[in-house]
């Protein structure tokens, strides 16, 4: 397969399920033709793994388009930024020979800053939940988005304000009071240390901070290739996901529109990336979860450990009802199927084609309701495996017959075209079908 894909207009890459399905690889691949790549939600809780000729990288804030030196990468207003983590990531990429400066990375001045108190509040809140914990990454994402909704907190652009220290002092005083209330005794943050870290971060990212919306709009209105990159997955959407086991932002096309000002109707194609099996990190229902040696085999062969936290991912058979819900509600009109090669040595594989809930069969998840999903018993369709290596296949016709049947069955069940199939982590290990 060519490492460059011919596509046009504004495209958006997201995940219809619970995240971790390989968006980073697909964005990296498509970005070789992009003019601008926009990360639209989340923060360092996202982990996008990219492997190309420059090496293997786990990206958390920097858009996965950064490996195309001709593309402009943007962190939108709706992303939350840990400045120290971002600078560490930038420096790590630079050491690997990746060019990053204000010419190819812009950061919205309206994005919120993740501060040490957000991380502390995140951890304290999770402890307080006890047995009802959500399973957050502990990166401060929920608290900073809460502050954003409350019209509080510090913005990235505040770093450049002449009165930044006064703004910082007011915020510090409030956050110390808030954290002290949470723990029941007085909490004092190290002001000088935090300010020192922020000033060091500003030295690197200061020239990159700007109002990004006019730039995004210019690229779109000029007919250039705009590529959006989501964090997490649609079933973790704050409003349409399985609340409260969700993230604090919007991974679907709705989130792309909020981040860029580009209406969903003006998006050429929304691409959903999903694996040939289903995974989830953290708490919440996973109807097809395999708590046996098969689940462990999938985890081991698929290397299903979080790029951000290192936590083992929960694994199960591909969940068609959930996938259909995510594609329909998330505005997805094309699919990419990843990690087909993980099943290369399986004698048989299964697909969940429906749920049995209270004696009634469901072909579609009616709502991302936790109680419904927790009570759902998967109805499985067993398919024969192919017991043959697929990682060297570069066209759909070269795949083993049973592998082709598996892909076509998923396509039939979801009723959305599968335009790419990934058979390995590298760019070239990708099969393109009518893209």
Q: What is the pLDDT of residue 125?
A: 82
**Active site (catalytic) residues:** 20, 48
DSSP letter (8 states) at residue 415 = T
Please tell me the distance from the alpha carbon of residue 154 to that of residue 164, in angstroms, as a whole number: 9
Residues in the chain with pLDDT values less than 70: 1-4, 131-133, 135, 307-309
**Contact by Cβ (8 Å): 271, 336:** yes
Does 244 sit behind a cis peptide bond, omega within 30 degrees of 0 on the bond before it?
Answer: yes
Angle (nearest 5°) at CA 111 between 105 and 116? 105
Domains and CATH numbers, the chain: 10-107+209-265 (3.40.440.10), 112-205 (1.10.300.10), 273-432 (3.90.170.10)
Q: Which residues, 6 or more positions from 188, have their beta carbon under 8 angstroms from its beta carbon? A: 176
Q: What is the pLDDT of residue 131?
A: 67
Please tell me the distance from the alpha carbon of residue 13 to that of residue 1, in angstroms, as a whole number: 20
Q: What is the pLDDT of residue 308?
A: 65
In the structure encoding, which two tokens stand for residue 79, read together? 């992303």
Please tell me the distance from the alpha carbon of residue 66 to that of residue 356, in angstroms, as a whole number: 45
**Contact by Cβ (8 Å): 274, 335:** yes
Please tell me the distance from the alpha carbon of residue 355 to that of residue 236, in angstroms, as a whole number: 20
**Contact by Cβ (8 Å): 227, 13:** yes
Q: What is the pLDDT of residue 310?
A: 78
Q: What is the pLDDT of residue 307?
A: 67
Q: What is the DSSP string of 100-165?
A: -STTTEEEETTSEEP-HHHHHHHHHHHHHHGGG-----SSSHHHHHHHHHTT-S-BGGGGG-TTHH
Closest CA relative to residue 153, chosen from 212, 205, 111, 195? 111
**Contact by Cβ (8 Å): 262, 224:** no
């Amino acid at each position: 397969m060519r490492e460059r894909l011919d596509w046009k207009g504004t495209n958006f890459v997201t995940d219809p399920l619970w995240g971790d399905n390989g968006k980073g690889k697909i964005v990296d691949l498509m970005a070789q033709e992009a003019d601008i790549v926009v990360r639209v939600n989340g923060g360092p809780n996202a982990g996008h793994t990219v492997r190309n000729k420059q090496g293997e990288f786990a990206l958390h804030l920097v858009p996965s388009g950064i490996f195309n030196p001709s593309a402009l990468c943007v962190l939108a207003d709706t992303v939350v930024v840990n400045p120290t983590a971002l600078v560490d990531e930038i420096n790590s990429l630079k050491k690997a020979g990746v060019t990053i400066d204000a010419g190819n990375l812009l950061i919205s001045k309206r994005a919120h800053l993740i501060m040490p108190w957000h991380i502390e509040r995140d951890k304290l809140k999770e402890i307080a939940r006890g047995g009802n914990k959500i399973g957050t990454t502990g990166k401060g994402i929920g608290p900073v988005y809460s502050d954003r909704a409350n019209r509080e907190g510090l913005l990235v652009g505040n770093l450049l304000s002449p009165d930044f220290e006064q703004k910082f002092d007011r915020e510090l005083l409030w956050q110390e009071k808030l954290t002290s209330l949470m723990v029941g005794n007085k909490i004092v943050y190290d002001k000088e240390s935090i300010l020192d870290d922020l000033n060091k971060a500003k030295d690197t990212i200061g020239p990159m901070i700007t109002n990004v919306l006019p730039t995004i709009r210019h690229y779109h209105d000029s007919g250039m290739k705009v590529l959006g990159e989501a964090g997490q997955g649609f079933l973790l959407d704050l409003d349409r996901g399985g609340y409260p086991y969700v993230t604090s932002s919007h991974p679907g096309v709705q989130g792309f529109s909020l981040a860029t000002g580009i209406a969903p109707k003006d998006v050429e194609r929304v691409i959903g990336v999903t694996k040939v099996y289903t995974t989830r990190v953290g708490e919440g229902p996973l109807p097809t979860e395999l708590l046996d040696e098969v689940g462990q085999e999938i985890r081991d062969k698929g290397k299903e450990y979080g790029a951000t936290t290192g936590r083992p991912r929960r694994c199960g058979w591909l969940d068609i009802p959930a996938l259909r819900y995510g594609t329909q509600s998330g505005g997805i009109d094309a699919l990419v199927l990843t990690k087909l090669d993980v099943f290369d040595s399986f004698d048989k594989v299964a697909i969940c084609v429906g749920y049995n809930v209270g004696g009634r069969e469901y072909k579609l998840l009616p709502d991302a309701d936790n109680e419904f999903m927790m009570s759902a018993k998967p109805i499985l369709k067993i398919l024969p495996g192919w017991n043959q290596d697929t990682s060297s296949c570069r066209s759909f016709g070269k795949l083993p017959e049973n592998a082709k049947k598996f892909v076509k069955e998923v396509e039939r069940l979801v009723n959305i075209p599968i335009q790419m199939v990934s058979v390995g982590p590298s760019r070239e290990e990708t099969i393109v079908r009518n893209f």
